[in-house]
């Protein structure tokens, strides 16, 4: 620790009157940064100026070209900005994660939201609710409303706000939904409870530096993501971020069998190993056989690309597999899947308008996932539309992408670039 502090001191000692380090921080990490920034200032001698707002608003500032040194935002926002060159990709560090909770006024009666049924009852009885329209909790809540069949009712009750917890504290809304870490640190707001486990979604927050950041930006990011931050993180309603359990294996550590599997993958796909194939490489023969199955199901099955990608989206949604969803969302749109159809699937609801073929596949895949079989009526419709090979290939695509989703969920593989809607709620 002494060496670390000495390095920080040297970094700023040559310029005692250095301008403050400008930090843009999400409201979800406000309490954490308010605690850690003064510690950093004291130990390093570098002044820090922090601007707090929701991730969407801060992203707009960055997109407009506002000067800053460090951004602390939701991981999807960080990835988008890093991919566009507005953040330095190699500077990205996980800070912590937090779930979504319900905020109420201290004088209000605390609703029971321990189950999906009691949450539904609380939403029906509430006179008004609020969340930040462009915040990370927004897609979570819209998905829950859709899942519970309350979209129309809740739209009529929803009051948009810049800060849901503050809106509840000021009695502008009865119930507020936002990150737990934000609720716990807003005077006048009380955490009623986290969302029920079956619909809870955790958001990871990351820090990254601007390409034009001062050298001390790296030291600040190391400080807020290091061991000093861990106990403060828990005090402020956050958790340590989930880690990738089965990441890429360094080339020098590959066994001969793994090297052979990697070369076979590159030859067959014309691309480097990625996503689920990193964890699968621990079993090189399984990886090779899985890749071979995918070569057929992805590119040569009896279903045309539009319908094949439609089935992949349904399967990704079923497993709440964000990496798989991100990888195929744009591919599906280019293949001809309507955006409204894809976005409805993301929200866990049946699309209101589908082609006849999509409707048949939707019912077939949903029944297969939820009842572990398909009814005679559904089978007959699918047989008429796609024939026996089409049915078998549909089952194959669903099974193959279920396998990949299970691998990705088990390994906790990072979700990749944010190119698609967030899969907020696991459908029933």
Pick the CATH number of 2-96+204-235 from 3.40.50.300, 3.40.190.10, 3.10.450.40, 3.20.20.70: 3.40.190.10
SS3 string, the chain, reads: CHHHHHHHHHHHHCCCCCCCEEEEEEHHHHHHHHHHHHHHHHHHCCCEEEEEECHHHHHHHHHHCCCCCEEEEEHHHHHHHHHCCCCCHHHCEEEEEECEEEEECCCCCCCCCCCHHHHHHHHHHCCCEEECCCCCHHHHHHHHHHHCCCHHHHHHHEEECCCHHHHHHCCCCCEEEEEHHHHCCCCCCEEEEECCHHHCCCEEEEEEECCCCCCHHHHHHHHHCCCCHHHHHHHCCCECCCCCCCCCCCHHHCCHHHHHHHHHHHHHHCCCCCCCHHHHCCCHHHHHHHHHHHHHHHHCCCCCHHHHHHHHHHHHHHCCCHHHHHHHHHHHHHHCCCHHHHHHHHCCCCCCCCCHHHHHHHHHHHHHHHHCCCCHHHHHHHHHHHHHHHHHHHHHHHHHHHHHHHHHHHHCCCCCCCCCCCCCCCCC
100-199, CATH topology level:
D-Maltodextrin-Binding Protein; domain 2 (3.40.190)
Nearest in space to 101 (alpha carbons), one of 131, 125, 127 = 131
Report yes or no on whether pTM surpasses 0.85. Answer: no
Q: Using CA atoms, how far apart are residues 397 and 35, in angstroms rounded to an integer? A: 49
The residue extents of the domains of the chain are: 2-96+204-235, 100-199, 251-411
The pLDDT tens digits along the chain (428 residues) read 444 444 454 444 445 436 899 999 998 899 999 999 999 999 999 999 999 998 888 999 999 999 999 999 988 889 889 989 999 999 999 999 899 999 999 999 999 999 999 999 999 999 999 999 877 788 889 889 988 999 999 999 999 898 999 999 999 999 999 999 999 889 999 999 999 988 888 888 999 999 999 999 999 999 999 888 888 998 888 988 777 899 999 999 999 999 999 999 999 999 999 999 999 999 999 999 999 999 999 999 999 999 999 999 999 999 989 899 999 999 999 999 999 999 999 888 899 999 999 999 999 999 999 999 999 999 999 999 999 999 999 999 999 999 999 999 999 898 766 567 777 655 44
What local confidence, expressed as pLDDT, does residue 70 receive?
97
One fold for 2-96+204-235 and 100-199: yes
Q: What is the pLDDT of residue 422?
A: 73
Which CATH topology does 251-411 take? AhpD-like (1.20.1290)
Q: CB neighbours of 351 closer than 8 A, spacing ≥ 6?
A: 338, 340, 341, 344, 345, 358, 362
């Amino acid at each position: 620790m002494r060496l670390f502090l000495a390095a920080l001191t040297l970094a700023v000692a040559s310029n005692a009157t250095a301008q403050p380090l400008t930090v843009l921080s999400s409201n979800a990490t406000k309490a954490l940064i308010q605690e850690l920034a003064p510690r950093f200032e004291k130990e390093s001698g570098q002044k820090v100026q922090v601007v707090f707002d929701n991730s969407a608003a801060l992203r707009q500032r960055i997109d407009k070209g506002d000067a800053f040194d460090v951004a602390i935002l939701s991981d999807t926002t960080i990835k988008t900005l890093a991919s566009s060159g507005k953040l330095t990709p190699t500077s990205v560090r996980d800070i912590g994660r937090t779930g979504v909770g319900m905020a109420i006024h201290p004088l209000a009666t605390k609703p029971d939201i321990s189950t999906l049924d009691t949450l539904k009852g609380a939403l029906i009885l509430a006179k008004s609710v609020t969340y930040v329209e462009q915040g990370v909790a927004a897609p979570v809540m819209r998905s829950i409303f859709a899942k519970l069949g309350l979209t129309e009712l809740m739209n009529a009750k929803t009051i948009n706000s810049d800060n849901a917890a503050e809106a509840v504290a000021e009695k502008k809304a009865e119930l507020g939904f936002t990150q737990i870490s934000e609720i716990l640190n807003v005077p006048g707001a009380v955490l009623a409870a986290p969302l029920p486990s079956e619909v809870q979604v955790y958001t990871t927050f990351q820090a990254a530096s601007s390409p034009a950041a001062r050298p001390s930006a790296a030291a600040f990011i190391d400080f807020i993501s290091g061991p000093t931050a861990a106990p403060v993180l828990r005090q402020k309603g956050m958790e340590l971020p989930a880690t990738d359990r089965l990441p890429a294996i360094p080339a020098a550590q590959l066994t001969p069998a793994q090297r052979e599997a990697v070369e076979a993958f590159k030859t067959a796909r014309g691309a480097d190993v990625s996503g689920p194939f990193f964890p699968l490489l621990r079993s090189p023969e399984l990886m090779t056989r899985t890749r071979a199955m995918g070569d057929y199901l992805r590119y040569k099955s009896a279903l045309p690309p539009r319908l094949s990608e439609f089935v992949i989206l349904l399967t990704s949604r079923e497993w709440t597999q964000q990496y798989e969803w991100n990888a195929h969302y744009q591919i599906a749109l280019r293949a001809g899947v309507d955006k409204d159809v894809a976005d409805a699937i993301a929200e866990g609801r049946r699309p209101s308008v589908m082609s006849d073929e999509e409707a048949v596949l939707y019912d077939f895949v949903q029944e297969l996932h939820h009842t572990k079989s398909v009814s005679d009526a559904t089978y007959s419709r699918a047989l008429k539309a796609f024939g026996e090979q089409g049915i078998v290939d549909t089952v194959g695509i669903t099974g193959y992408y279920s396998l990949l989703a299970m691998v990705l969920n088990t390994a906790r593989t990072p979700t990749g670039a944010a190119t698609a809607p967030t899969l907020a709620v696991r459908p029933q």
